[in-house]
A = this chain, B = another copy of it.
Amino acid sequence: MNRQPAVLGQMVDTMLSRCRAAGLNVTPQRVAIYRALLEATDHPTPEMLYQRVRPTMPSLSLATVYKVLEALAELGVVQEIAVRNDNKRYDGNMERHHHLVCSKCRKTTDLYDADLDAVEPPSSLKGFRAEAVTVQITGLCSACAPPKGKAR
Contact = CB atoms under 8 A, between A and B. Distances in A.
Interface string A70-106: 0001001111111101011111111000011111000
A57 B85 CA distance: 29
Kindly state the interface size class of chain A when it binds its partner.
35 or more
Contact of A89 (B38, B45, B92, B129): B45
A111 interface: yes
Given A82-B82, A119-B116, A136-B82, A127 B142 contact: yes
B128 A43 contact: no
13 contacts: A1-B92, A37-B90, A77-B94, A80-B89, A81-B91, A82-B85, A85-B88, A115-B120, A126-B142, A127-B142, A128-B140, A128-B145, A133-B137
Q: Which 9 A-B pairs have the closest CB atoms?
A: A127-B142, A82-B83, A37-B92, A131-B139, A130-B139, A43-B89, A129-B145, A38-B92, A129-B140
Given A34-B92, A127-B145, A130-B139, 8 more contacts: A42-B108, A49-B90, A69-B88, A69-B90, A77-B94, A81-B99, A103-B131, A127-B142
